[in-house]
Amino acid sequence: MKLELKDFYRVMSPRLTVLVSTADKDGNHNAAPFSFCMPVSIDPPLLAIASAHKRHTLANIKETGQFVVNIPGEMLVAAVEKCAEPLPKGESEIIASGLAPGRSETIDAPFIQDAVAYFECALEWVKDAGDHQIVVGRILNAVVRDEYWSEDGFAFQEAMPLLHLSGRNFTAGDRLIMVP
């Protein structure tokens, strides 16, 4: 069947869901889930998120030039949903959702201690893209919990990164498909 054009992205799913944590210039913390997110360069290490125009996250990134991309595991699904609720600017979704902020090594924006991994980013550029803006960040520090990294790489079956389908529906891919 032909899709309504506005629904194309719903078929591009499930999508890795990240929690982007930021601080405003007064140091107030913020966090919000983003599933429009992808790596764009390995060297230098760059990633991109796409943000709708009115997000506090976007305002904070433009204000400070800093953000952290946190990878939540399946067990944080309730907190991720809570972080998507609109709170007044300056109120921390990290605290409201029962998560713990940590002090980042390279930037002032906090990371989320409960995450499987996190990437501290400095803003490279922002560009208009339709009803969103693309935000590209340079990763200054990348941390993964010891138990989820080995010589085999990322232990995704244990970490169970959260993947968004649509609305309130998520999945966590734990099936390994090995091509012989």
User: Residue 70's closest CA among 167, 141, 14?
Assistant: 141
Select from 54-62, 98-106, 116-124, 153-161 the region that touches ligand FMN (CB under 6 A). 54-62
For residues 122-137, one letter each, b for 16 or more C-beta atoms within 10 angstroms of the residue's C-beta and e for the rest, the string is ebbeeeeeeebbbbbb
- Tell me how far apart the alpha carbons of residues 33 and 82 are, in angstroms, rounded to a whole number: 9
- Establish if 64 lies at the interface with ligand FMN (CB under 6 A): no
Residue bearing tokens 């998507």: 84
**Looking only at residues 5 through 44 of this chain, which bind ligand FMN when binding is defined by CB under 6 A?**
17, 30, 32-36
Of 108, 160, 115, residue with least CA distance to 18: 115
70 touches ligand FMN by CB under 6 A: no
Binding mask 103-142 for ligand FMN (x = CB under 6 A): ----------------------------------------
Rounded least distance, CB 95 to ligand FMN, Å: 13
Spatial contact of 67 and 109, defined as CB atoms under 8 Å apart: yes
Nearest distance, CB of residue 37 and ligand FMN, angstroms: 6
**Where does this chain bind ligand FMN (CB under 6 A)?**
17, 30, 32-36, 50-52, 55-57, 84, 86, 164
